[in-house]
Amino acid sequence: MINYSGILHSSMIVADTERSLGFYRDVLGMSVHVSRPDLDFPGAWLNVGGQQIHLLELDNPDPVVGRPAHGGRDRHVAIGVDNLVQLMEALEKAGVPYTASKSGRRALFCRDPDGNALEFIETT
């Protein structure tokens, strides 16, 4: 039997790394992981607790329009947060729309500048 130890990172395809950092770093408050190797394409690695989100500035094979308005009905990555209200305030200040989880959990969904869906679940 295979023994899994967890998900170490999730990758997001982005059109512009600096624009995406304006969202992930400046709005969401994620720090940039400085040990990203020198790859043959732009991008960034972001710390999310003990895991990472890898931003890959590559041609996107997926459509970015026509996606469901609610990110819970689309592929997404779920991230735990201590304080959902604090996150909501940061999103509202930046003008980033979000929707509440339809499950009744203390969670919300939003999209990054490239349409990638993110779920944030309050874990405390």
66 located within any domain: no
How do residues 2-34 score in pLDDT, each as one tens digit? 999 999 999 999 999 999 999 999 999 999 999
- Domain shared by 46 and 77, yes or no: no
- Domain shared by 50 and 85, yes or no: no
How do residues 60-76 score in pLDDT, each as one tens digit? 988 888 899 899 999 99
Distance set, CA 23 to CA 54, 71, 102 (Å) = 14, 17, 24
Active site (catalytic) residues: 119
How do residues 101-117 score in pLDDT, each as one tens digit? 999 999 999 999 999 99
30 vs 25: CA distance, rounded Å? 5
The answer, yes or no, to whether residue 52 has pLDDT greater than 90, is yes
3 located within any domain: no
- What domain range is 111 assigned to? 71-122
The domain that holds 35 is classified in CATH as 3.10.180.10
- Tell me the pLDDT of the chain averaged across its residues: 95
64 located within any domain: no
Q: DSSP E strands: which ranges in 1-124?
A: 9-14, 31-33, 43-48, 51-57, 76-81, 98-100, 107-111, 117-122
